[in-house]
Amino acid sequence: MTDFTVTILPAGITFSVSPTETVLSAALRHGIDMPYRCQQGVCSSCVCRRQSGTVQYQAPEPEHRNHQFTYCCLAFATSDLVLQHPFIRGDAAN
């Protein structure tokens, strides 16, 4: 299976995600400081505004699912993604 590319704006971070892992899992595997707490689609910490791309959720989907937003802890990419999250930064040292 082909990996997809996730871009996080405005930081401009990019990383690859396999179709078999959630976007959050991929971000953490790449050392990206993506906020999360519940990992169950409840707390909204990991929610990003989706600028482009498509995702799918394993059932049950987040109750308050909105196509503008992506619950990264539950979402599996089905294409390249461009997501926006104001609190995800590049290198913390900068």
Rule CB under 6 A: which residues touch ligand FES? 36-39, 41-46, 71, 73
Instruction: Indicate the residue whose CB is closest to ligand FES.
Output: 73
Q: What distance in Å separates the CA atoms of residue 56 and residue 19, rounded to the nearest whole number?
A: 10
- Report which of 68, 93, 80 is spatially closest to residue 8, judged by C-alpha positions: 80
Give residue for tokens 């995600």: 17
Choose between 13 and 22: whose C-beta lies nearer to ligand FES: 22
- Least Å distance between CB 34 and ligand FES? 9
- Least Å distance between CB 75 and ligand FES? 9
Choose between 1 and 49: whose C-beta lies nearer to ligand FES: 49
Q: What distance in Å separates the CA atoms of residue 14 and residue 5, rounded to the nearest whole number?
A: 7
- Least Å distance between CB 39 and ligand FES? 5
Exposure string over 1-28, b if 16+ CB within 10 A, otherwise e: eeebebbbeebebebebeeebbbbbbbe
Choose between 53 and 94: whose C-beta lies nearer to ligand FES: 53
